[in-house]
Structure 1
Amino acid sequence: MTHAVSRLRDERLARSLKPFVARGSRAPRCPQCRVFCSHCLCEWRPQVEARAGVCLLMYDVEVLKPSNTGWLIADLVADTYAFGWQRTAVDEQLLALLDDPQWQPYVVFPGEYTTPGRVVHELPPQSHKRPLFILLDATWSEARKMFRKSPYLDRLPVLSLLPEQLSRYRLRRAKRDEHLCTAEVAALCLEQAGDVRAAGALDAWLDLFSERYLGAKHHWPIDESSAAHQALREFL
């Protein structure tokens, strides 16, 4: 299986001057799910449909990190696009995507960082255009830099989410509990767009990925009766 994020990863690796070595990479990883082969979860990947699309702008080595959750979005959402972000250049294919008349792009970012006139908190109830959610896939400090230094995004509305839940993501430590990981943000966006089943599947996929990833790291046995496994069964 290949998708936009895996292809971007291959492109980034091809440009690397030295190998990228993730922490704890002495054991072989599954090339599809990026988890140690002993805890591969590929057979659990759900099949769902979504009307919305996702465009990931990924900060430099983000696409190389095994713990990256943008990959999980591409696993499930067929219309996922991925581009590497550069401060001084922009991919022409990205600009073409933003101008594609089938899409209504939204930059997903906290509204406090832009002018009020750009900010929406909900999608319009009816639109002939499909929503395209632009997610800045990076650490929080990197994402703020990307938002400030991407002038080609300035003409687009900003979808400012107001999530009520705290982040469940356990593979990296955020500075604040309300900072959600990329897959959590995408699930909230899908729910807003009416893709409720896809949103639920992505949340469940993230939970199982986190459980298997940590299980492999700590040499825990796989428990297919766990809550994460049970939640995902609904979408298989």
Structure 2
Amino acid sequence: MPSSIIPHAVHHLYQYRLSIATKAFAARGHKLVRCPLCLLSVTYCTCALRKPLSSQASFMLLMYDGEVLKPTNSGRLIADLIPETHAFLWSRTEIDPKILALINDPAYQAYVVFPGEYADKGQTIVNRIDMPSLNGKRPLFIMLDGSWREAVKMYRKSPYLHGLPLLSFDANQLARYALRKGQHDFQFGTAEVAVMVLDAMDEAANALAMNAWFELFVEASLLGRNRRPKDSLTPFSEYVANFELSYQQAQITTHSKL
């Protein structure tokens, strides 16, 4: 891990969660020597490659207890690339006042990123973000970071989320992304959902960069645990190059809009 890397919100939350742990967290591959920031094998640490994107999006990660400790958690990838990312531990009974302050801040328009089928009666559901209609407000995307069962519990047990509009993706959108990742179910990692969010607000180049960062993360995780089938091995350098190219394209696109 390069000494110049600046920790972000998820890194700080990780350290806090470690500090209140009553026993050591033993993830799969816990004997692996990991980078303390990206939590990947030190051999495949990606910290030196991390670069912030220029984005109008803000994200709030509400993380189920213990999720932030998992090396496989992809929510941290959002904070890697999107400068304005906030991260909190979710609690049913003790709500961090900073969560409510952000939701109620007039500078933001908060959206819960969640399937529309869970909407309360009268709750607004959108599948695109029309930036001009926000009148200068910054979209704040609330991501419920945990297993699917945990995410449903978090939503149902958080009444302060029920009055907010839902950003939901229809079956066609989900199918398109499922085909892109070569899977046939519609359950996605948190970073993959962030790809869809960025695309929904017309930041397509940033979405591609986030997707490339996620693919690099997956490959580094598999290589670090010796889980990549040797007969289908794509050189790690190709994943690095793909992210670098996607990032450069995102920068070009951003500057062309200025």
After TM superposition, the score normalised by the length of structure 2 is 0.83
Identity of aligned residues (%): 43
Q: More displaced, 44-53 or 180-189?
A: 44-53
Q: Aligned to 1:46, which of 46, 51, 76?
A: 51
Tell me how large the CA RMSD over aligned residues is: 2.1
Q: Which amino acid aligns with 1:124?
A: D
* 8 Å CA contact retained: 2:196, 2:207: yes
Provide structure 1 residue ranges, at least 5 long, that are not aligned to the other structure: none
Q: Which amino acid aligns with 2:87?
A: A
Correspondences of 1:4-23 after superposition (within 5 Å): 4-23=9-28
Q: Which amino acid aligns with 2:225?
A: K
Q: Which amino acid aligns with 1:36?
A: S
Q: Identify if the C-alpha distance between structure 1 residues 211 and 168 changes in structure 2 by more than 3 Å, giving closer, same or farther.
A: farther
Tell whether 2:37 aligns with 1:37.
Answer: no
* 8 Å CA contact retained: 1:167, 1:181: no
Tell whether 2:116 aligns with 1:104.
Answer: no
Q: Identify if the C-alpha distance between structure 1 residues 152 and 209 changes in structure 2 by more than 3 Å, giving closer, same or farther.
A: same
Q: Identify if the C-alpha distance between structure 1 residues 27 and 225 changes in structure 2 by more than 3 Å, giving closer, same or farther.
A: closer
Tell whether 2:218 aligns with 1:205.
Answer: no
* 8 Å CA contact retained: 2:52, 2:82: no
Tell whether 2:87 aligns with 1:82.
Answer: yes
Correspondences of 1:184-223 after superposition (within 5 Å): 184-218=192-226, 223=235
Tell whether 2:150 aligns with 1:142.
Answer: yes
**Structure 2 partner of 1:165:** 177
* Structure ranking higher on relative contact order (CA contacts 8 Å, 6+ apart): 1
**After superposition, what is the alpha-carbon deviation per residue over 1:42-69, rounded to whole angstroms, capped at 9, x for unaligned?**
2222332111100000000000000100
- Give 1:191 deviation, angstroms: 1.7
- Give 1:177 deviation, angstroms: 1.6
- Give 1:180 deviation, angstroms: 1.0
Q: Identify if the C-alpha distance between structure 1 residues 40 and 204 changes in structure 2 by more than 3 Å, giving closer, same or farther.
A: same
**Structure 2 partner of 1:66:** 71
* 8 Å CA contact retained: 1:4, 1:82: yes
* 8 Å CA contact retained: 1:167, 1:178: no
Give the secondary structure class of the aligned counterpart of 1:207.
helix
Distance between the aligned counterparts of 1:155 and 1:210, measured in 2?
Answer: 35
- Give 1:125 deviation, angstroms: 4.7
Distance between the aligned counterparts of 2:57 and 2:39, measured in 1?
Answer: 25
* 8 Å CA contact retained: 1:36, 1:216: yes
- Give 1:41 deviation, angstroms: 1.7
Distance between the aligned counterparts of 2:16 and 2:167, measured in 1?
Answer: 30
Q: Give 4+ residue runs of structure 1 displaced > 4 Å after superposition.
A: 167-170, 219-222
Distance between the aligned counterparts of 1:187 and 1:225, measured in 2?
Answer: 22
Give the secondary structure class of the aligned counterpart of 2:225.
helix
Q: Which amino acid aligns with 2:104?
A: D
Give the secondary structure class of the aligned counterpart of 1:179.
coil
- Give 1:12 deviation, angstroms: 0.8
Q: Identify if the C-alpha distance between structure 1 residues 125 and 37 changes in structure 2 by more than 3 Å, giving closer, same or farther.
A: closer
Q: Identify if the C-alpha distance between structure 1 residues 38 and 23 changes in structure 2 by more than 3 Å, giving closer, same or farther.
A: same
Q: Which amino acid aligns with 1:90?
A: I
Give the secondary structure class of the aligned counterpart of 2:169.
coil
**Structure 1 partner of 2:130:** 124
* 8 Å CA contact retained: 2:115, 2:167: yes
Tell whether 2:191 aligns with 1:183.
Answer: yes
Distance between the aligned counterparts of 1:67 and 1:168, measured in 2?
Answer: 20
**After superposition, what is the alpha-carbon deviation per residue over 1:4-52, rounded to whole angstroms, capped at 9, x for unaligned?**
1111111111111111121112121011221111111222223321111
Q: Which amino acid aligns with 1:194?
A: D
After TM superposition, the score normalised by the length of structure 1 is 0.91
More helix by share: 2
Distance between the aligned counterparts of 1:202 and 1:181, measured in 2?
Answer: 12
**After superposition, what is the alpha-carbon deviation per residue over 1:71-124, rounded to whole angstroms, capped at 9, x for unaligned?**
100000000001100111210011101111111000010001113632122223
